[in-house]
Structure 1
Amino acid sequence: MTKRLAIRWEMLKRCGRLMPGYTAASLAALTISTFVVAATALSVWATVNASTEGDVTRAMTAAALAAGAYALSISCQDATDALVRTTADRFGRLVLHPEIHRDISAMEGMEHLEKSDYLDRVTLLRGGSSPLAASLWTFLTACSNMLKVLIMVVLLGAVTPWLGLLALLAIVPVWCDARGQRVVQATDLETAEMFRHQQHLYGLLTNARHVKEIRTAGVADELLQQQRSTWDSLMARRSRAQFRASVWSTAGWACYAGGFLAGLIWTVSQAVNGSVNLGDITLTVVVAATLRQSIATTVDSFATVSSASRMIEPYVWLRETRRAATSSSADRLPPERLVDGIELRNVSFSYTGAQSPSLRNISLSLRAGSTVALVGEYGSGKTTLVKLLCKFYEPTSGAILVDGVGLDEVDTAAWRTRMSGAFQDFGRFHVPVRVGIGLGDLPNMDDDAALDRALGGAQARDMLSKLPAGLDTVVGSEVGGIELSEGQWQRVALARASMRQKPLLVVFDEPTASIDAPSEHAIFEQFSAFSRSIATRSGAITLLVSHRFSTVTSADVIVVMAHGQVVEVGSHAELMKKGGRYAELYGIQEKGYATS
């Protein structure tokens, strides 16, 4: 509770600083709407008492005040709703929305993207900036409504103290409704993974990338059934939670209704006995007529607060997670040029929740300026090793040294500026081609010569000549651009990886999986020239990951991996002469290509 109040206070201060006019107007409207109801009731009370006493002037003045207060209450309510809604919406869209997405994307590694608790909260936060901003103003509105109720109960208590006890009963439906909403919130978080699953299945059925395989296999109905089943199960659990919340709400209202009825009966009996005057009775009737609606509004507003507050916990969690992930003391810059290279000392790594490590005691020296090939069967640990070198993950044990300095001591952002990479699961950026390539080196994004050099390195100049607007062609049908083939998308990714001219580490992780064999051969020749060039400039290490052994024969060093361990290291000639695992796998692939 304290943390939620602190977050709301922080957001209120930020609203006041960034949108002072809207914030001041909204707070003023809330303040006026809080007290105008009491002013109306007291004016009516004064009108009746003055009338019974025969004081026409006082009665007319009080009646005019009552009419004015009532008119103000009507107009103020509309103005308050409009101002609060606008202020919350602007704050959510202009401040919190970019902040949330910044925090989601700012964490340096990848591990958080594979953890269910992170994804559950991101599922709630994605698109949730407006409800999060609304949580502040719904809370202030709820407090205003609660104060209205308390003022009305005080007025009733002025007639007779026993009616003041309704203040205690007014708390009951509020508490019960909040209790029910906590059940709903907990269920929403528990079922977030189910929600993502059914959304994934829905995406498979509606995304053009998957439609060919789904139609060919004839599994659309099966996937649709799974999606429906998951959705039905999800909604059943959430519906049960909503039902439990409604039971809590009904119980709270039943408790209040009983007490309220008893209070009215007692007040009427006092009027019959002459213990209260006509003005007091009128005040009781006026307040009682609006009290039920005021309490209902208060309960609804607190329910809205509770619902909106479900965004606060993941919001706080995201901020704390991001702060912890970016609070590393690593502040050393990478070397301007590699002299010795990169060394791995007894490096092991396990993914969160994995039963066995993905890497076991890897000790390996990658010489500066060398081209190193990582080969091995699927699941051997090649890509995991690449992720550690890119600082997407930290080793579970052991150390990675760059020219003798621990990689964990090197500033991650600075290290990434000295890397280039093309991966099998490359990005498909729906932007102009020049941007899609230029993202590989932001300072040179507008340098056509640099872009042309990168296109040449990816053997993609011919592809560019076929695009209607050349580098300015927008690609991606979802944004109205042209659609590229898989091979063309991969060439753009390869060109992007060729942009930086002084990297320290260049990674090609299955970079030609979607390219035909002749083009692959030409690209690898370009890679060799590119590797030699950057090795001369910065001592860069080129790391090539491939399942196709024929593409790695020219590498300076070939590292053979199996079951998370390094089993062989050497040049192609050395490993073939040794006749071990590499020679066996190379022979199998060579025979396969020869007979295909």
Structure 2
Amino acid sequence: MTTYPKLWRELLGLSLRRQRAYTVATLAAVVCSVLVVALCALALREAVDAIVRGDTGRAIAAAAVAGIVYALNLVLQDTAGILRVTTNDRLGRLELHPQVHRDLAKTEGLDHLERTDFLDRVSIVRSSTGHITMSMWNAVMALSNALKLLITVLLLGSVSPWLALLLLFAAIPVWCDHRGQGVVRRVEVETAEAYRLHQHLSELAVGASGGKELRVSGSAGQIVDRQAQAWRDAMGPRTRAQFVAAAWKLTGWLVFTAGFVGALALITYRAAHGHGTVGDLVLTVTIAASLRQTVAGTVQSTTATAGSRRVLEPYLWLRRHLRGEADRSTGSERPPARLTDGIVLSDVSYTYPGTDRRALDGVTATLPAGAVIAVVGEYGSGKSTLVKLLGKFYRADSGTITVDGRGLAELDTEAWRARSTAAFQDFGRFRTTFARTVGLGDLPHVDDRERIMRALEETDATRLLASLPDGLDTQLGRELGGVDLSEGQWQRTALARAAMRTDPLLFVLDEPTASLDAPSEQAIFEQQMARARTLGRTTGAVTVIVSHRFSTVTGADKILVLDKGRLVESGSHDELMRLGGRYAELYGLQATAYAD
């Protein structure tokens, strides 16, 4: 809990910096609301006592003050709420929400995105930035309501010290609510995975991407049944937890009600025996009448503050995790201007989180500068994992990767990626203009139409451009009022994006033609092989081609054959065919299959 006040100070400081006018107005309204109840009660007591003394002028003045303060209280109740919601909405949506996504995007690796504990917390935080910022305002309101309660009890204590015991009774509902909310928080974390499954199945059931297969297979009903079961698995325990929390709340209020009834009995007894002034009686009744609302506000704000742990704990965990990821990014060296030796992997191993099988197991290989390296193997052999290690998306569990003798881990990640380019198997589909979705391959030149056109020409994508209604300015994405592309067209766009950078040191083609027809695939590989040779001469770039079709990589300088994460063979096509090992076997099987 000690970290919460620090976080709330941070959020309040952010609100004052970025939403100053709204924040100051909200705080002013909250401060005024603390004072008005006491001022109204004191003014009423003074008015009644003045009437008893026969001081008409003082009585009128005090009554006027009481009326003004009461009216101000009514206005402040609505105004403070509106200001608080508006300020929080602006802070959550315009400041914290983008910051969370920036922090997620800045993390250099991808392995955390494959961890369920990380994804559970991300799903909570992404949908709850408004609740996170509201926790700060809930804390402010809890403090202001506690001050209201303290002032109220002090005023009652001025009439009789016994009435101050109401503070103890007022604390019991707060404690009970905390216990109930603790149950709710624990159950929500425990059922987060089931809730994510429900959301995924809900999107799958109504999404266009899987709609065709669901209808052809007739499995829509099964998806709906599984969605309903996931909902029951998530919401059943949550509903029961809410009932438990409600029982705790009821218990607390019953105890407070008993104390409140006793206080009213004491007030009545004192009034009947002539103790205190008539003004004291009016003050007591006025304060007592507002005490229920004050206690309710205190309980509500305190409960909301405590309940915010549901979103604060995942948020704080996420911040610690991302900070730890940033601390691990120690590389600061600049990559060389030109590769002279190449990239060397020495006994490199990697295991995905949550598994016990190594995706790469003791891989040792040399990728010479200027060379075209093909990586082949069956599905699950570790091909894409190797590529991701070279891109610094993962960190090797053991072993080293060096670039011209310098450790890849020691190179500045942003600088290394600025000298890399890639077309991945799971390529991005960016719903923006066609020019921009290609230009994103080299951000400093994202609007350079001349370079974009060269990239399109190098990847034989000019015919695709000609088919678009507005050329380079065509909006992509039917859901955004634009046009949609076929899978092959999206992949060709990704290839053009990879051609935007003209001086990479690492050029990756990870199954770059999986969605293209055979003639287009062969043409693309010939173009990209020619580009790889040009880059090899100019920057010493290492080109890494991952392909499931062996016939397309026969021209590579070196072929790495992976099997179950291990490097079992390496050499040129002719060398591996003469060896008669795993590569020759797979090549022969594929050649026979295509011949048939």
Runs of 4+ in 1 over 6 A off after TM superposition: none
Instruction: Measure the CA separation in 1 of the matches of 2:217 and 2:86.
Output: 50
Secondary structure at the counterpart of residue 358 of structure 1? strand
AA at the equivalent of 1:518: P
Superposed CA offset, 1:181-232 (max 9, x none): 2222222222221121111111211221111111111100000110111012
Q: Is contact 1:341–1:365 with CA below 8 Å preserved after alignment? A: yes
The answer to whether structure 1 residue 577 and structure 2 residue 578 are counterparts is yes
Instruction: Measure the CA separation in 2 of the matches of 1:20 and 1:352.
Output: 44
AA at the equivalent of 1:454: A
Q: Which residue of 2 is the match for residue 394 of structure 1?
A: 395
1:22 CA displacement? 2.1
Q: Which residue of 2 is the match for residue 499 of structure 1?
A: 500
AA at the equivalent of 1:356: R
Instruction: Measure the CA separation in 2 of the matches of 1:516 and 1:474.
Output: 25
Q: Which residue of 1 is the match for residue 386 of structure 2?
A: 385
AA at the equivalent of 2:174: V
Worse overlay, 281-290 or 49-58 = 49-58
AA at the equivalent of 1:311: V
Instruction: Measure the CA separation in 2 of the matches of 1:128 and 1:214.
Output: 32
Instruction: Measure the CA separation in 1 of the matches of 2:295 and 2:147.
Output: 10
Q: Which residue of 1 is the match for residue 434 of structure 2?
A: 433
- 1:329-368 aligned at under 5 Å gives the runs 329-368=330-369
How high is the sequence identity, in percent, across the aligned residues? 50
- 1:446-461 aligned at under 5 Å gives the runs 446-461=447-462
Q: Is contact 2:148–2:294 with CA below 8 Å preserved after alignment? A: yes
Instruction: Measure the CA separation in 1 of the matches of 2:244 and 2:104.
Output: 33
Q: Which residue of 1 is the match for residue 271 of structure 2?
A: 271
The answer to whether structure 1 residue 238 and structure 2 residue 238 are counterparts is yes
Q: Which residue of 2 is the match for residue 541 of structure 1?
A: 542
Instruction: Measure the CA separation in 2 of the matches of 1:86 and 1:443.
Output: 37
Secondary structure at the counterpart of residue 208 of structure 1? coil
1:261 CA displacement? 1.2
Q: Which residue of 1 is the match for residue 262 of structure 2?
A: 262
Worse overlay, 274-283 or 469-478 = 274-283
Instruction: Measure the CA separation in 2 of the matches of 1:421 and 1:196.
Output: 31
Q: Which residue of 2 is the match for residue 316 of structure 1?
A: 316
- 1:457-536 aligned at under 5 Å gives the runs 457-536=458-537
AA at the equivalent of 1:83: L
1:290 CA displacement? 1.0
Secondary structure at the counterpart of residue 221 of structure 1? helix
1:309 CA displacement? 4.3
Secondary structure at the counterpart of residue 135 of structure 1? helix
Q: Which residue of 2 is the match for residue 86 of structure 1?
A: 86
Q: Which residue of 2 is the match for residue 442 of structure 1?
A: 443
Superposed CA offset, 1:61-88 (max 9, x none): 2111111111111112222122222222
Worse overlay, 12-21 or 396-405 = 12-21
Q: Is contact 1:103–1:318 with CA below 8 Å preserved after alignment? A: no
Change (3 A) 1:16 1:444: closer
Gap regions ≥5 residues in structure 2: none
1:294 CA displacement? 1.4
Q: Which residue of 2 is the match for residue 405 of structure 1?
A: 406
Q: Is contact 1:104–1:318 with CA below 8 Å preserved after alignment? A: no
Q: Which residue of 2 is the match for residue 419 of structure 1?
A: 420
Superposed CA offset, 1:426-468 (max 9, x none): 1111011111111111122222222122112222111111111
Q: Which residue of 2 is the match for residue 29 of structure 1?
A: 29
Secondary structure at the counterpart of residue 210 of structure 2? helix
Secondary structure at the counterpart of residue 361 of structure 2? strand
Superposed CA offset, 1:539-590 (max 9, x none): 0111011111111111111111101101111111111111111111111111
Instruction: Measure the CA separation in 2 of the matches of 1:207 and 1:28.
Output: 48
Q: Which residue of 2 is the match for residue 38 of structure 1?
A: 38
1:176 CA displacement? 1.5
Instruction: Measure the CA separation in 2 of the matches of 1:411 and 1:190.
Output: 39
Instruction: Measure the CA separation in 1 of the matches of 2:236 and 2:71.
Output: 46
Q: Which residue of 1 is the match for residue 113 of structure 2?
A: 113
Superposed CA offset, 1:266-294 (max 9, x none): 22122222223322222221111110121
AA at the equivalent of 2:476: V
1:19 CA displacement? 2.8
Q: Is contact 1:332–1:411 with CA below 8 Å preserved after alignment? A: yes
- 1:126-141 aligned at under 5 Å gives the runs 126-141=126-141
AA at the equivalent of 2:223: L
Instruction: Measure the CA separation in 2 of the matches of 1:22 and 1:495.
Output: 47
Instruction: Measure the CA separation in 1 of the matches of 2:224 and 2:568.
Output: 45
AA at the equivalent of 2:78: D
Worse overlay, 178-187 or 158-167 = 178-187
Q: Which residue of 2 is the match for residue 374 of structure 1?
A: 375
AA at the equivalent of 2:557: D
With normalisation by structure 2, the TM-score equals: 0.98
Instruction: Measure the CA separation in 2 of the matches of 1:203 and 1:459.
Output: 35
Q: Which residue of 2 is the match for residue 75 of structure 1?
A: 75
Instruction: Measure the CA separation in 1 of the matches of 2:473 and 2:480.
Output: 14
AA at the equivalent of 1:545: V
AA at the equivalent of 2:442: D
AA at the equivalent of 2:574: A
Instruction: Measure the CA separation in 2 of the matches of 1:272 and 1:213.
Output: 82
Worse overlay, 513-522 or 44-53 = 44-53
1:31 CA displacement? 0.9
Secondary structure at the counterpart of residue 326 of structure 1? helix
Instruction: Measure the CA separation in 2 of the matches of 1:506 and 1:206.
Output: 38
With normalisation by structure 1, the TM-score equals: 0.98
Q: Is contact 1:31–1:144 with CA below 8 Å preserved after alignment? A: yes
Q: Is contact 1:131–1:308 with CA below 8 Å preserved after alignment? A: yes
Worse overlay, 157-166 or 350-359 = 350-359
AA at the equivalent of 1:413: E
Superposed CA offset, 1:484-520 (max 9, x none): 1110011001111111111111111111111000110
Instruction: Measure the CA separation in 1 of the matches of 2:15 and 2:202.
Output: 38
Q: Is contact 2:370–2:540 with CA below 8 Å preserved after alignment? A: yes
Gap regions ≥5 residues in structure 1: none
Instruction: Measure the CA separation in 1 of the matches of 2:482 and 2:167.
Output: 63
Q: Is contact 2:434–2:475 with CA below 8 Å preserved after alignment? A: yes
Q: Is contact 1:342–1:401 with CA below 8 Å preserved after alignment? A: yes
AA at the equivalent of 1:243: F
Secondary structure at the counterpart of residue 394 of structure 2? coil
Superposed CA offset, 1:324-354 (max 9, x none): 2122321001111111000011111111121
Q: Which residue of 2 is the match for residue 15 of structure 1?
A: 15
Superposed CA offset, 1:77-129 (max 9, x none): 22212222222222222221211111121100001111112111111111322
Worse overlay, 346-355 or 309-318 = 309-318
Q: Is contact 2:191–2:233 with CA below 8 Å preserved after alignment? A: no
Instruction: Measure the CA separation in 2 of the matches of 1:228 and 1:19.
Output: 42
1:18 CA displacement? 2.7
Worse overlay, 443-452 or 425-434 = 443-452
Instruction: Measure the CA separation in 1 of the matches of 2:113 and 2:298.
Output: 39
Instruction: Measure the CA separation in 1 of the matches of 2:210 and 2:552.
Output: 29
1:406 CA displacement? 0.6
Worse overlay, 172-181 or 553-562 = 172-181
Q: Is contact 2:115–2:354 with CA below 8 Å preserved after alignment? A: no
The answer to whether structure 1 residue 284 and structure 2 residue 284 are counterparts is yes
Q: In the comparison of the two structures, how many residue pairs are matched?
A: 595
Q: Is contact 2:330–2:409 with CA below 8 Å preserved after alignment? A: no
1:318 CA displacement? 2.5
Instruction: Measure the CA separation in 1 of the matches of 2:20 and 2:486.
Output: 51
Worse overlay, 512-521 or 22-31 = 22-31
Q: Is contact 2:508–2:544 with CA below 8 Å preserved after alignment? A: yes
